[in-house]
Amino acid sequence: GGAGPAEAPDSVDRASSAVQAVAVFYPVTDLLNLGASTENLGDGGPPKSFRDSFGPGMTNLALWKVVGRECSPIFHIPTNLPPVLIYHGDADTLVPLDQSERFRDAAQAAGQTVEVRVHPGGEHGWLSMIFDVYRFADWFDEHLVLRAGKGD
């Protein structure tokens, strides 16, 4: 939401609760197009390991097309999308890099900021990813505004 009342005594209550920056590892962004994912059974349905998670009706592919679209960020890019940083391995077979690249392309076509940083040889996780978490912190430092002098 928007910012709270300016007269609130606690700075937490004056700040907006809207997401202001995002950093994420290898997200699924399009459940309707799993591409080369090892989760893709090729029937246009939900990811194989999560079929039960979506409920018993998800064997109905017509219903899945509605639910899958509703759950896929690529179909819901707002005009006020906060800056997004995605780290993704180019050897990820669970969630292929294509998921992040297509989301970035769709967001950029809508005038939004999405950066994809590719980890060469990275699968669905990699040993050195803790260092990328530190880079997330740098991203947040760059994109989140501190409002000093307001009782913070």
Residue 98, both tokens:
């294509």
What pLDDT was estimated at residue 146? 64
Strands 84-89 and 22-25, how do they pair?
Answer: parallel
* Span 90-125, pLDDT tens digits: 999 999 999 999 999 999 999 999 999 999 999 999
Residue 127, both tokens:
């040993």
Per-residue pLDDT tens listing for the chain (152 residues): 566 677 778 877 777 778 999 999 999 999 999 999 999 999 989 999 988 888 888 888 999 999 999 999 999 999 999 999 999 999 999 999 999 999 999 999 999 999 999 999 999 999 999 999 999 999 999 998 765 444 44
Structural domains of the chain sorted by starting position, each given as residue range(s) with its CATH number in brackets: 1-30+75-152 (3.40.50.1820), 33-71 (no CATH)
Q: What is the pTM of this model?
A: 0.85
Phi, psi (deg, nearest 5) at residue 4 = -80, -175
Distance CA 149, CA 11 (A): 11
